[in-house]
Structure 1
């Protein structure tokens, strides 16, 4: 089975204040369903109150991430599923619950991980 990343950048989550509680409820319900189905691996959002640091190959640490890359923020869910079609179905459920588009990416297989 492959692992899939379902994610969205923070700017995509443009939900009116009066719908936010419903988004939280609905998105948590989908995650609970994924856990019950045994496909949930990990999920969460980037804590934007904690700034990133860039750790170099020589062990040096610098404030900030890659200067050329867009900021990494938003929400992420990792599921382990037997097919891409099932990953698309879960991504659709998450998109509906969050009321925003989701990106779907497949992790490359690493036999040592």
Structure 2
């Protein structure tokens, strides 16, 4: 089976403060459904209050990012699924719950992971 990354950037979730509890409950329900189905691997939102850093092979830490990931934020889920079509169906459930479109990407197969 293939692992899929299903994600969205923070700005895509355009809901009011009043709507947020219902959206959070709906998202948690989809997560629980994925857990119950045995396809959930991992998920969560990027903590945007913690700045990203770069760590090199010698362990040196710099307060910077790769330019293309300087705006990496939002919500991420990793599901292990039998097909791309299954990933699209789960993404649709997440899109409905979060009220925003979801991006779907497949991880390359690695027998050790």
SS at match of 1:4: strand
Q: Are 1:110 and 2:110 an aligned pair?
A: yes
Superposed CA RMSD in Å reads 1.2
Answer yes or no: is 1:32 the counterpart of 2:27.
Answer: no
The 4+ residue runs of structure 1 with deviation greater than 3 A are 67-70
Query: Could you list the runs of 5+ residues in structure 1 that have no partner in the other structure?
Result: none
Distance change >3 Å, CA 44–CA 69, structure 1 → 2: closer
Find the counterpart in structure 1 of residue 91 from structure 2: 91
Matched, 1:5 2:5: yes
Tell me the alpha carbon deviations over residues 49-75 of structure 1, each in whole angstroms, 9 at most, x when there is no partner.
Answer: 111110123432101211354411000
CA distance 1:94–1:68, change in 2 (3 Å): closer
- Equivalent pairs counted in the alignment come to 113
Matches within 5 A, 1:65-84: 65-84=65-84
CA–CA distance in structure 1, aligned partners of residues 33 and 96 of structure 2 = 14
Report the Cα distance in structure 2 between the residues aligned to 1:55 and 1:109, rounded to whole angstroms.
26
1:101 is aligned to 101
Uncovered stretches (5+) of structure 2, i.e. residues with no partner: none
CA–CA distance in structure 2, aligned partners of residues 47 and 91 of structure 1: 22
Task: Determine the C-alpha separation between the residues in 2 that align with 1:67 and 1:41.
Answer: 28
